[in-house]
Chains A and B, each alone.
Chain A
Amino acid sequence: MTSSSRTGSPDGEGDGGARVELRALAVRYPTASVPAVHDVDLTIEAGEFTVLLGPSGCGKSTLLRTINRLVEPTAGTVLIDGVDARARDPVELRRGIGYVIQAVGLFPHYTVAENVGTVPQLLGWPQPRIGARVDELLRLIRLEPATYRNRKPRELSGGEAQRVGVARALAARPRVLLMDEPFAAVDAIVRASLQDEIARVHRELRTTVVFVTHDVDEALRLADRIVVMNAGRVVQTGPPEEILEHPADAFVRDLVGVDPETRRLVLERPLIER
């Protein structure tokens, strides 16, 4: 895939990504005795593919959801391209940020095209532009528009549904894409192909991606940078090789596994072109 295929997009793809900064961020749920997220400082560079990795309950989803204000931090600040997220209307903020979840959440009474066109429709794009954008996105995720446009979500396989979920998140050309365990519910073969797909899409669009997973192999395969979390704190950040070779502590060492050599094979598996 060359950069010329990017500029070939009729709707002018390739706005790139936004820089996301989390400053002294903390989240405490009213009923919980310990904070879900504790004192997190993290800068996610524009266009970077960042994976938040950790066991369930470590606060990675909560952290992700502060970026589009589905969760409001109890302390600290979220900056998107230097602008405090709190200074923006949450609805308008979310329309500019892609959001993909494990359960997909396609609207069952909408067709595939209507699902993908959801955010452009909310933004009031004219109908022909939405139609063109939907077809473009379906091609991007390799679902033939003529075949899939008018299907209902119940007529899709799990993998196809999640592709449509990704297309829906990308529709209004967000500069940040949030993905919360997006491929955890599909089988291993489909998961691998979806991983290839999102890696390719990221290379083409250079959107900033923040991706939550508990799957170490998935993190190693996709991440430019991994953020390892435990008990609401960030315990290590670094590129996959560094996490593998220099785990910061026993927790990270146990998480990435007893056999770094096997894990390294994951890194060496060609991700189309890494």
Chain B
Amino acid sequence: MTYLASHPARVGALLGEHVVLVAVSLAIALVIALPLGVLAARNPRAGGAILGLAGALYTIPSLALLAILVAIIGLGKLTAIVALVVYAQMILIRAIVAALRGVDPALVDAARGLGFTARQTLLRVEFPAGLPVMLGGVRVAAVSLVALATVAAWINAGGLGVLLFEGISTNNPAKIFAGALAAALLAIAADVVLRGAERAVRT
């Protein structure tokens, strides 16, 4: 606690950076995962290909992926965001597919029979009905990205990982502890908030 007590402003600033890194990545990841998830849920063949590719990317070790991306894009936040977006795809697409496939078929049948267009059925019936499961995926993705984002400090993307890497190189356990504690608390906070959201949308 000593480092945390003596440098609250620095830890706070890095925490803020960390939150922005995760939030921006998660938002971009969602924008990409939503159409892919809908396509994968609708079309089993496309679904196999999409989930296969996302699964393959997910298995690349994070350090290796960052190293490859640095070679292509260079050091910095952008590279970290690209890596985090790639990792989140697997989790988010899986959740979206599970959410849409889990919607009660009677709801979809009723919606079509009453004269909803395919788009109205998706937006007004399937998304709302699948929202709790989708938010579950967002929660898991958020918690995973909080952990993964610590590695981003290694490529000059900032965040709480800075404390970990500095602590290791200067043999300062208090600094490592401060970084680890802040990251853990952030992960727990994200989990609690998104669990609350999940409960709120459950009908």
Contacts and interface: CB of A to CB of B under 8 A. Distances in A.
Interface string B94-134: 00000000001011011111111100100011001100000
A165 B104 CA distance: 16
Interface in A131-154: 152-154
Nearest to A152: B203
A70 B113 contact: yes
Contacts of A32: none
A239 to B, nearest CB: 28
Given A109-B128, A122-B120, A68 B113 contact: yes
A254 B24 CA distance: 68
Contacts of B125: 107
Q: Is the interface of B mostly helix, strand, loop or mixed?
A: helix
B114 A119 contact: yes
Interface stretch (A37-45, A97-105, A204-212, A217-225): A97-105
Contacts of B107: 105, 107-108
B203 A94 contact: no
A118 interface: yes
A168 interface: yes
B135 to A, nearest CB: 14
Nearest to B113: A99
A118 B114 contact: yes
Contacts of A109: 128-129, 203
B110 A122 contact: no
A93 B114 CA distance: 9
Contacts of A169: 114
Nearest to A169: B114
A68 B109 CA distance: 12
Contacts of B112: 70, 94
Interface string B116-158: 1100100011001100000000000000000000000000000
Q: Which of B110, B116, B124, B125 has the most CB of A within 10 A?
A: B110
A91 interface: yes
Contact of A108 (B113, B114, B129): B129
Say which size band chain A's interface belongs to.
20 to 34
A92 interface: yes
Interface string A66-103: 00101000000000000000000001111110010101
A94 B114 contact: yes
Given A92-B115, A122-B115, A108 B203 contact: yes
Given A103-B106, A105-B106, A107-B107, A94 B129 contact: no
Contact of B106 (A94, A96, A104, A168): A104
Given A103-B106, A105-B109, A119 B115 contact: yes
22 contacts: A70-B112, A94-B112, A94-B113, A95-B115, A96-B115, A99-B110, A99-B114, A101-B106, A101-B109, A101-B113, A103-B110, A105-B106, A105-B107, A105-B110, A107-B110, A107-B129, A108-B203, A118-B114, A119-B115, A122-B115, A122-B116, A165-B110
Nearest to B124: A107
Contacts of A104: 106, 110
Nearest to A105: B110
A101 B120 contact: no
A153 B107 CA distance: 12
A273 to B, nearest CB: 31
Nearest to B106: A103
B106 A91 contact: no
Contacts of A122: 114-116, 120
